[in-house]
Amino acid sequence: MRTDPILRVCNLSKRFGGVNAVYDVSFYLYEGETLGIIGPNGSGKSTLINLITGFVKPDSGKVYFRGRDITGITPDKAVSLGIARSFQLVRPFYNMAVYKNLVIPLYSPRVRKLKGGKYGDRDEVAIHLLEEVGFERDSQVPFKTAGTLPHGYMKRLELARCLSLQPEVVILDELFSGMSMSEIASMLPLLEKINREEGRTLIMVEHRLRELFRVVGKVIVLNFGMKIAEGTPAEVMEVEEVRKAYLGSEVEAGA
Ligand SMILES: Nc1ncnc2c1ncn2[C@@H]1O[C@H](COP(=O)(O)OP(=O)(O)OP(=O)(O)O)[C@@H](O)[C@H]1O
Ligand SMILES: [Mg+2]
């Protein structure tokens, strides 16, 4: 018999003023699965992530992690359970060295509990993590202030910050946005490793469908806060309503 899904979202809704940002959305995901969340601008993707990770409280509906009700959890509690997310708008500590941005999460209660004293020198772990996400080995960039990083490297730092928390569920909000095709291509093996080798469950919000569909096995599509389709990438792109939702938007629908 299969165990509980690692994440189950039931009838989640959130209104902002007159706007149904997320309306009656349900889905579930088993451990080790990969899910893409797609939809036009303003369709509720980031709000859905904010609801799951505790940055926004739902008006109604439930969120379960491994069968446990975590609805309305605080963000730090979500992290301590093993749910970590990256932000669409990256806000590092700009005046701090790049690698020091990671030393902070590396001293979080979750990492201390999991790794304790065995983790060694946190500065070294931070540098190693930066190399994992694509900072060149032995470069001086990790020692510069984070504010000096080009956009693509800011996104890599954000991914490293998320991964430093040893998450079981990794939620990435538009990791690829603003990255060049070659930058994205260089991220794909790492995302595969996170999921396939390390067994982490991966949720990605993306507008870059072609690249997203190389990573995820399952997709849900939001439009005006509602889930309008769910299935494999090929299945959802066949749905008439999905094609219509994407018409005129910046996204290539035939990915
Ligand atoms: N804190 C907030 N206060 C008021 N309205 C909000 C807030 N957050 C989101 N919204 C509104 O909720 C709707 C969904 O926004 P959300 O950011 O979740 O969309 P999205 O799918 O992530 O869009 P994008 O692709 O542009 O990132 C939008 O109409 C947005 O203006
Ligand atoms: Mg968003």
pLDDT tens for each residue of 4-62:
999 999 999 999 999 999 999 999 999 999 999 999 999 999 999 999 999 999 999 99
Written as six digits, the tokens of 32 are 């080790």
If you measure from the C-alpha of residue 251 to the centroid of ligand 2, how many angstroms do you get, rounded to a whole number?
14
**Amino acid, single-letter form, for residue 1:** M
Rounded to 5°, angle at Cα 98 from 204 and 107: 80
The tens digit of pLDDT for each residue in 172-219 reads: 999 999 899 999 999 999 999 999 999 999 999 999 999 999 999 999
DSSP 117-152: GGG--HHHHHHHHHHHTTPPTT-SGGGSBGGGS-HH
What residue's CA is closest to ligand 1, atom 27?
Answer: 41
DSSP 22-43: EEEEEEEE-TT-EEEEE-STTS
What is the Cα 105 distance to its own chain's centre? 16
Orientation angle between helical segments 151-164 and 181-192, nearest 10 degrees: 10
| Residues within a 6 A CB radius of ligand 1 | 16, 19, 21, 39, 41-47, 88
Residue that is written with structure tokens 């001086």 in the block: 140
Q: If pLDDT is split at 50, 70 and 90, which confidence band does 96 have?
A: very high
The bound ligand whose nearest atom lies closest to the alpha carbon of 86 is 2
Using alpha carbons, select from 68, 69, 21, 77 the residue that is nearest to residue 49.
Answer: 21
DSSP 81-100: HTEEEE-SS----TTSBTTH
What residue's CA is closest to ligand 1, atom 12?
Answer: 21
Helix (H, G, I), strand (E, B) or coil at 226: strand
Q: How far apart are CA 11 and CA 1, in angstroms?
A: 25
CATH of domain 7-246: 3.40.50.300
DSSP 49-90: HHHHHTSS--SEEEEEETTEE-TT--HHHHHHHTEEEE-SS-
If you measure from the C-alpha of residue 34 to the centroid of ligand 1, how many angstroms do you get, rounded to a whole number?
23
Q: pTM for the full model?
A: 0.94
Mean pLDDT of all residues belonging to the chain: 93
What is the Cα 135 distance to its own chain's centre? 20
